Structure 1
Amino acid sequence: MKKAALLVTLLILSLSVWAQKTKVVITTDYGKITMMLYDNTPQHRDNMIKLIKEKFYDGTLFHRVIPGFVIQGGDPDSKKAVPGQALGEGDLKYKIPAEINDEDFHQRGALAMARDENPDKASSACQFYIVVGKKYTDADLDKISQRNGRKFSTTQREMYKTEGGTPNLDGRYTVFGMVTSGMDVVDKIVAEPRDSNDRPKKDIHMISVRIVKKHKFLIF
């Protein structure tokens, strides 16, 4: 019995591990969104930590909402934007080198960095998006794979079929985190009426964005 119990324990440990991850909490007009930042994208992680500590994001807007796709924020021009003003071009004077990999993908709730059309796929210094997404079939995923050469793992396929995401963005933008709670808030934000530039007609603020000390997440 002791040997059997030991084997079960070793199996559980081999399948899961408590990992220390950086926890970020965005307080919005609709509630809180909690995210963890990945350690395998250190330049994106450290850049966001730096901006949060500088309170860069406080008072910015979620300036782009597209149902079935994403919500986007972090444009510094949004802090003093007037109603109806087109947003999305504001940035800082540097880019973050791409940290695109096969492990991190655009599942529902994924945190990724926006970018312009540069050949190196380097990210914006400050604008990010959270994936809302939609569900896909195997046939849909096969077409996307043929189009962009991205191979989806069994786990990724299952996630895109059951939970949804934006698989067409895989391999093109750096995913560097994941929402762990507050997707109901994200869903409220993305449902807001929007103008022709996809800006919500009602301003939706990031009232504050804060780092919570290293937090333990159970990773399978």
Structure 2
Amino acid sequence: MKKFGVLVFIILVGFGISCSHANKTSKETQVLIKTDMGNITVKLYDDTPEHKKNFLKLADEGFYDGLLFHRVMQNFMIQGGDPKSKDAAPGVRLGAGNPGYTIPAEFVPAHFHKKGALAAARTGGPENPDKRSSGSQFYLVQGEIFTPGKLDTMEIMINGRAKNQFLQEQFKASSEKLNEFRSNNDEAGFNVFVAEIRAKADSLWDGQNKFSFTPEQREAYTTIGGYPSLDGEYTVFGEVVEGLEVLDKIAAVETDRYNRPKSDIKMEIEVIK
């Protein structure tokens, strides 16, 4: 996440901070991510306002200047924004730092993980059921190019997982009745009831809206590429408009076992629009 600019001084209610850029509403708010390997220009989306506002606040404060791209994985993404990465000793594992708060997820179907997407990192697992974003860490997607058949397979897998979760919810809703059969040692009745639950779940599932990639996603993922399995899991709030070749150069650097570049890649952020 980076920076922006405005000529008005307004108190940011959400963060309680006065910021000259954070309330700018220009549809082409852009920031320049400067590195020793080249510059990357990114625009921020207006329809993910909390992420945009937070990114601008931190950028205006100079929060990101001197931080590292601390996690780099070729054909996946480059990640930065950990405050602990500033002046970090060589070889130290990074990625746990944050500014002390998180941001509510802002999932917009039109914004997905195509190559060049700017997205917010976050903590995974059951401790973050709402998929709230890190207050500072972000990544830029490099990804890879997918064939139509691979996207088809991914749709099948996603729908398969969703159907299995749906079935588990049906069993959970019937747990009291299932426990009665167990208490009575009624194996035959238990098996019949399980079959009924499955049949009902299959019938209900047939009426559900199944997941499918949009034409826009398919076009992007089969041409410039990206990382579609992250869609709907992490908030995308901007995209690269210039400097994809720099993204590729950074993604190709040599890294250690923690995916940290062996030679530090520092960033500076400058608001250009």
Smaller-chain TM-score bracket: 0.7 to 0.9
Distance 1:35 1:147 in 2: 32
Shift of 1:29: 0.9
For 2:135, the equivalent position in structure 1 comes to 125
For 2:90, the equivalent position in structure 1 comes to 83
1:136-187: CA deviations, max 9, x gaps?
1122212222333542111210110011000000010000000000111111
Query: Residues 21-170 of structure 1 correspond to what in structure 2 (within 5 A)?
Result: 21-117=28-124, 118-149=128-159, 150-170=211-231
Q: Does 1:212 align with 2:222?
A: no
2:144 partner amino acid: K
Distance 1:144 1:93 in 2: 36
CA contact (8 A) 2:27 2:45 kept: no
1:19-60: CA deviations, max 9, x gaps?
732101011011110000001100001100000000000000
CA contact (8 A) 2:70 2:79 kept: yes
CA-atom RMSD, angstroms? 1.1
2:244 partner amino acid: M
Distance 2:32 2:96 in 1: 25
SS at match of 1:120: coil
Structure 1 residues without counterparts, runs of 5 or longer:
1-18, 214-220
Q: 1:190 aligns with which of 233, 251, 264?
A: 251
Distance 1:147 1:115 in 2: 23
Distance 1:21 1:173 in 2: 22
Distance 1:163 1:20 in 2: 23
Normalized per residue, the structure richer in helix is 2
Distance 2:90 2:45 in 1: 35
1:22 partner amino acid: T
Number of residues of Structure 1 aligned to a counterpart in Structure 2 = 194
Distance 1:128 1:147 in 2: 27
Q: 2:232 aligns with which of 157, 168, 171?
A: 171
Distance 1:53 1:25 in 2: 13
Distance 1:29 1:77 in 2: 20
Q: Does 1:203 align with 2:264?
A: yes
Distance 2:152 2:233 in 1: 17
Q: Which moved more, 1:106-115 or 1:142-151?
A: 142-151
SS at match of 1:192: coil
Distance 2:122 2:153 in 1: 24
Distance 2:113 2:53 in 1: 20
Normalized per residue, the structure richer in strand is 1
2:269 partner amino acid: V
Distance 2:242 2:79 in 1: 17
Distance 1:66 1:204 in 2: 14
* Greater radius of gyration (CA): 2
Distance 1:177 1:151 in 2: 23
